[in-house]
């Protein structure tokens, strides 16, 4: 049996500013930041890593009844026997990780959560609260870069191989990816990229996992899974088209996308997969 002690208290400070100030002292760093709604969690350090949640008990302390916030980081195709690249291989394989410190912003407000395997020491909570309250306002930093182009010939070869697999009936849908290297004109940190995504024009949910000197960061409009009581929700986007600030043109583009046979077929592949997965563990799947 694993017992966790979790203490949560309200804060007035911006959680991004607090995270940027505290992050230097922690090897593990997690971010899940929904830009459209107050559904934001930023974790620092590692209280404990677990392969499963069975046998875990937690004791909630403090003025806010907030359960401990766990994070996870894994390959999307975790069962793929093909080896990952050298950067992704640097990350530990984590099912569930509980940070030492979590900054939270949700419908209940902003809060600081401190987790421990023993009763949380009050002085530790006060120290983190003071640091977050005194955090300076973050600043966006532009990072100029040059792009190293990948091989067009290799890309065409991979596309041909994918089309051949589809024609032979071995697969129904293939998603090819490209890897491109950027050469920055000056050093930058995960904090710089994180702040640019949160304060910039990117839409959706900002994700980050940093382990030591390697980090994975991005922003996605898709929703992998959200659980509210007995309801599970997931949302994918498999078809895309250009965006427009002109409302009339935006509606026109949306209509063209909805009528596009190729995009509709690709989207249905993903929806079918989601429905199949949720059907294994849920009833009344819509």
Residues 9 and 98 in one domain: yes
User: pLDDT at position 180, please?
Assistant: 87
Residues 148 and 243 in one domain: no
* Confidence bin at 267 (pLDDT 50/70/90): confident
Q: The domain containing residue 158 runs over which residues?
A: 144-185
**CA distance linking residue 257 with residue 93, whole number of Å:** 38
| Positive/negative CA dihedral, 103, 104, 109, 112 | negative
* Confidence bin at 146 (pLDDT 50/70/90): very high
* Confidence bin at 88 (pLDDT 50/70/90): confident
Residues 171 and 72 in one domain: no
Residues 52 and 127 in one domain: yes
pLDDT in tens, 43-74: 999 999 998 888 899 999 999 999 999 998 88
pLDDT in tens, 210-242: 998 899 999 998 888 888 888 988 988 877 888
Is the pLDDT at 77 greater than 80? The verdict is no
Contact (Cβ atoms closer than 8 angstroms) between residue 214 and residue 208: no
**CA distance linking residue 29 with residue 97, whole number of Å:** 10
Q: List CB contacts of 221: < 8 A, sequence separation 6 or more.
A: 203, 204, 205, 237
Cα 265 to the center of its chain, rounded Å: 27
Other Cβ atoms closer than 10 A to 131: 16
Average pLDDT on 270-281 reads 89
Give domain status of residue 198, yes or no. no
CA neighbor of 43 nearest in space, from 32, 29, 25, 26: 29
Give domain status of residue 195, yes or no. no
* Confidence bin at 90 (pLDDT 50/70/90): confident
Residues 148 and 101 in one domain: no
Other Cβ atoms closer than 10 A to 46: 20
Contact (Cβ atoms closer than 8 angstroms) between residue 44 and residue 28: yes
3-state secondary structure of 209: strand
pLDDT in tens, 111-125: 999 999 999 999 999
pLDDT in tens, 236-260: 887 788 888 899 999 999 999 999 9
Which of 98, 133, 168 is a domain's end point? 133
Give domain status of residue 209, yes or no. no
Residues 19 and 124 in one domain: yes
Give domain status of residue 121, yes or no. yes
Give domain status of residue 262, yes or no. yes
Residues 118 and 152 in one domain: no
Other Cβ atoms closer than 10 A to 78: 7
Furthest-apart CA atoms within the chain: distance in Å: 66
Number of domains in the chain: 3
Contact (Cβ atoms closer than 8 angstroms) between residue 13 and residue 135: yes
Contact (Cβ atoms closer than 8 angstroms) between residue 92 and residue 212: no
Across the chain, mean pLDDT equals: 91
User: pLDDT at position 175, please?
Assistant: 82
């Amino acid at each position: 049996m694993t017992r966790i002690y979790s203490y949560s208290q309200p804060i007035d400070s911006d959680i991004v500013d607090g995270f940027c100030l505290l992050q230097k002292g922690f090897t593990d760093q997690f971010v899940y930041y929904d830009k459209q709604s107050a559904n934001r969690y930023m974790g620092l350090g590692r209280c404990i890593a677990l392969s499963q949640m069975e046998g875990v008990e937690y004791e909630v302390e403090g003025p806010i009844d907030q359960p401990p916030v766990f994070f996870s980081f894994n390959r999307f195709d975790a069962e793929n026997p093909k080896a990952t690249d050298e950067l992704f291989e640097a990350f530990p394989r984590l099912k569930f990780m509980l940070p030492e410190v979590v900054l939270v912003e949700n419908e209940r407000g902003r809060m600081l959560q401190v987790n421990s395997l023993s009763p949380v020491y009050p002085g530790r909570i006060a120290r983190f609260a003071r640091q977050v309250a005194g955090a300076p306002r973050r600043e966006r930093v532009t990072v100029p870069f040059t792009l190293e182009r990948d091989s067009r010939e290799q890309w065409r070869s991979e596309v041909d191989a994918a089309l051949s697999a589809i024609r032979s009936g071995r697969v129904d849908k293939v998603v090819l990816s490209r890897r491109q290297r950027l050469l920055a004109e000056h050093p930058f940190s995960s904090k710089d990229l994180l702040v640019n995504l949160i304060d910039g024009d990117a839409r959706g949910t900002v994700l980050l996992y940093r382990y030591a000197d390697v980090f994975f960061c991005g922003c996605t409009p898709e929703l992998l899974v959200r659980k509210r009581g007995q309801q599970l929700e997931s949302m994918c986007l498999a078809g895309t088209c250009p965006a427009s600030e002109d409302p009339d043109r935006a509606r026109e583009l949306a209509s063209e996308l909805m009528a596009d046979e190729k995009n509709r077929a690709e989207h249905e592949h993903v929806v079918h997969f989601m429905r199949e997965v949720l059907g294994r563990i849920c009833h009344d799947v819509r």
